[in-house]
Amino acid sequence: MFKTIINAIKTPEVRKRILYTLLLIVIFRLGCYITIPGVDTFQLSTIMNASASGLSGIVDLISGGAFSRFSIFAMSITPYITASIVIQLLTFVIPALERLAKEGGEVGRRKMSLYTKILTIILALIEGLGIYLSYRNSGIFLDTGIGTAITIIISLMAGTAILMWLGEEITNKGIGNGISLIIFVGIIAGLPSAVVTIWNLIAGNGTFSTTGLLTAIGVIIGAILLVAGVVFVQQAERRIPVQYSKRVVGRKMVGAQNTHIPLKLAMAGVMPIIFASSFMTFPAMIIPLFIKDIAERTSGFWYTIYNFSLATSSSEVAIGFTIANAIIYLLLIIGFTYFYTYATFNPADISNNIKRNGGFIPGIRAGKPTTEYLSNVISKLTLYGGIFLAIIAILPMFLRFTTLNLAFGGTSILIVVSVAIEIVQQMESQLAVRHYKGFLD
């Protein structure tokens, strides 16, 4: 990995991409410290410290501390993620969108991107309004007039639009997937606070604690094992052998080669967790828009839905809500893993390409049997990968009821490791393109 980074820095084109990516990351981090006009920072600090373990805590984690400062990037990139989910789901429901996505080419991709952006702005407007109404009576705003409301909502929408642009720029002109990288940077921004938390276990009050030291060592070892497990699962793949028979093309005899199809165990990456968490936390963000005193209620249908949604990120609800949330969360993660995998890998298309080029999988007939075989393999791999993702996402929910309530949990580590691996792989591909040696070398 370090050799890849050194070679990337030495290569002018790749170095330019890396520097451009770093510049946009710096812009993102600077924006996290630009507080929206009309906010009382002292009252804001008090309110956010009191609710650090709730829904605002996970939003703050993803946004890199922008939410706790009520900056222009307070909503982070979550409206864009939700919009992407909705558009992808609609492609399975609306035939015109499905044709546009599959057959539209570059023009279709641009139109789909435009639809996603429009929906992102609409969702940002709704979420910005929800945030304002949720904190309007908390005292963090110097004024609660209509002018202040418009300023805050527009500022939040503009921040999301800027992040959407930064993500696209990183994807097109930088290194890595821009949206994933923004989430990655937001999470690792909380790494120093995690180190302070571990240090406080050892000598929080100025006195050495043997129990705290053993706990800290256990946390560090657990994190290392978790990182190793994530790397293993992310890199694991099933190789399907493919043989191509000899055939005549023009005046040449081609083919007669053996190759393989690499099928990754976690083909969907971390996206199913991001999708599922967005769906699970959405009710907790929307319900306060319509029911102002929902947090003070003790019963009722909407009270149940609100606390059920809040259990994804908070230990302040009853453990029954957490158990029910964990079950639905697990099913959603596995479901989104299947959805995202089959959205990016079509066994029928792969089977047709193999057949068209005169290839076959040993022991499997070309055509429909190959499609069924690939579908069966993908289904099993996706199930194992989805269960692994679900365990990592759900385990920290129950650790909140213990003394090991670390913000930098399993999901965060999964996102960080997955994005880091993706960045290194993109660097390697960029280097391979620019240093490829042909047969004359």
pLDDT digits (tens, 9 = 90+) for 210-219: 877 887 888 7
User: DSSP letters of 190-219?
Assistant: THHHHHHHHHHHHHTTSS--HHHHHHHHHH
State percent of the chain over pLDDT 90.
4
Confirm if 310 and 317 have CB atoms less than 8 A apart: yes
- CA–CA distance, 240 with 89 (Å, rounded to integer): 29
* Predicted local confidence at residue 414, as pLDDT: 75
Phi, psi of 359 (to 5 degrees): -105, 170
* Predicted local confidence at residue 439, as pLDDT: 42
Is the predicted pLDDT of residue 441 greater than 50, yes or no?
no
Phi, psi of 99 (to 5 degrees): -65, -40
Is the predicted pLDDT of residue 330 greater than 60, yes or no?
yes
DSSP state of 314: -
pLDDT digits (tens, 9 = 90+) for 48-107: 665 554 455 555 555 656 677 788 888 888 888 888 878 877 887 888 887 887 777 778
Domain spans in the chain, listed from the N-terminal domain onward: 22-189
22-189 classified as CATH 3.30.450.40: no
* pLDDT (mean) for 185-201: 78
